[in-house]
Structure 1
Amino acid sequence: MNLTVARLTVRGLLGRRRGLLLLVAPVLLLVVSLITRYLDKQSQAPDILGRLSLGTLVPIIGLVIGAGAIATEIDDGSIVYLLAKPLPRWKIITTKLAVAIGTTWLFAALPTLLAGFILVGAQDNLAIAYAVGTMVAGAVYCAVFLLLGVVTRNAVVVGLVYALVWESLIGNFVEGARTLSIQQWGLSIAKTIATDGAITAPVSLGVAVPLLVVVAIAATALATVKLAGLTLSSDE
């Protein structure tokens, strides 16, 4: 990891009021959890932690952070200053990815853990299970959306279509598509941690884990290759 790249990435992600905007979704999740607990409707915990957090919050946060870790620098041309440095392209990508993952965990996985404890406490390990699921899924989302940030100037638009249409809609309700859903892979991880069958997942762990690893590595490698192909031009 390169500390200079990491520092610049953190500044870009959390500066210019973006940090405050990133707080909106986690705060909403916690407010919904508090209201649900107050109304004594803990049976809705799987919907809140699964569909609202893992299914909606995580991909959107992953998109904003993953694509934002590099897309802004490419759009405004400031990426040329990094490319001009004697830094391996893989180190730039992996550093930005590490920062993106850590930030996603802060704004998505931690609120999910807190929401779980608010809703059901330590019951059935649900809070920890969904938190770990969001951590795993969030890391892969960051890799995919970081790749989008490198290959297209419309990363946010493409990412929103993927997150809202494929992950939140098709991935939840079309049985055959669930195997290719990062959300469902994360849910499979959560299922193995929860007790007493508290979480159901349509994708087996033996399928989910290899797909998580392959997609994360492939997206990171391809982002490195694409970044290496960028020229030192203010038009890039």
Structure 2
Amino acid sequence: MNPTVARLTLRGLLGRRRGLLLLVVPALLLAVSAFAAGSSGDKHDLVVNVLGKLGLGTLLPILGLVVGTGAIATEIDDGSIVYLLAKPLPRWKIITTKLAVAIGTTWAFAALPMLLAGLLLYGTKEGLALAYAVAALVSGAAYSALFLLLGVVTRHAVVAGLAYALVWESLVGNFVAGARTLSVQQWGLAVAESVAAEGSLTSAVSLGAAVPLLLVVAVAATALASVRLAGLTLASDE
């Protein structure tokens, strides 16, 4: 991990405009949770709807998109990446450093608020608050890697990422049974199921399949982003 690259990436992610955008996700989740906590009805179902469908299914992918693409896509678009590539740094180190910053930022703005929202809604019962927070950790890392890759391979990373986050994860992944196997949300939910009390959560993917899939996606996306960044360097040198 390169400290200079990490500092520049973090500064870009937490700039005034993007920083305010990042705050929207935890603020919305906590506001909805605070409002819902005073309502009547089945609290367990309320937690599943707020933390599962809203938090894990919609807000987390969007946050991962903002952070993952913001870690590098802006530099590529405005050409400032050339100054970074001119440094004697291995391309994989640039990618892994940016990914580490993206993952840490996603955890800070998603996993921690998820835990707080769960405690606000349901306390420590059935371990649901912790379970969804852990799901946000593992899913957030996978989303960060995927969207960082998008930021490297296409200038339309935000559009492509929104299509994936809103159409595939939020819509198709929730309502089409066969597609759930290829959903990061469902992989995270499988991890959450293993953390929560037995029978309190169910996922469409087994833990034995979810963990390898999460690892494969994160590693493959990181490797492909490194290769693609090396290709950009060669193109700029010609």
Contact in 2 for aligned 1:80/1:233 (Cα 8 Å): no
Residue identity over aligned pairs, in percent, reads 72
Give the match for residue 107 of structure 1.
109
Count matched residues: 235
1:128-176: CA deviation from partner (whole Å, max 9, x where unpaired): 0000001100000000000000000000000000000000000011000
Report the aligned-residue RMSD.
1.3
Selected match of 1:58 from 44, 57, 60: 60
Please tell me whether residue 125 in structure 1 is matched to residue 113 in structure 2.
no
Match of 2:96 in 1: 94
Residues 9-88 of structure 1 correspond to what in structure 2 (within 5 A)? 9-41=9-41, 42-43=43-44, 44-88=46-90
Read off the aligned partner of 1:37 and give its amino acid letter. A
Query: Which stretches of structure 1, 4 residues or more, deviate above 4 A after TM superposition?
Result: none
Q: How does 1:218-229 map to 2 (within 5 A)?
A: 218-229=220-231
Which amino acid is 2:203 matched to? Answer: A
Normalised TM-score (structure 1): 0.97
Query: Is contact 1:84–1:232 with CA below 8 Å preserved after alignment?
Result: no
Cross-structure match for 1:209:
211
Over residues 14-53 of structure 1, what are the superposed CA-to-partner deviations in whole Å (9 max), with x where a residue is unaligned?
Answer: 1132111211121111011011111244231111010100
Cα separation, 2, equivalents of 1:104 and 1:231? 28
Structure 2: gaps spanning 5 or more residues:
none
Mean Cα displacement is larger for which, 40-49 or 145-154?
A: 40-49
Q: Name stretches of at least 5 consecutive residues in structure 1 with no aligned partner.
A: none
Tell me, what secondary structure is at the counterpart of 1:23? helix
Matches within 5 A, 1:161-172: 161-172=163-174
The separation in 1 between residues aligned to 2:74 and 2:234, in whole angstroms, is: 16
More displaced, 41-50 or 97-106? 41-50
CA separation in 1, counterparts of 2:119 and 2:163?
Answer: 31
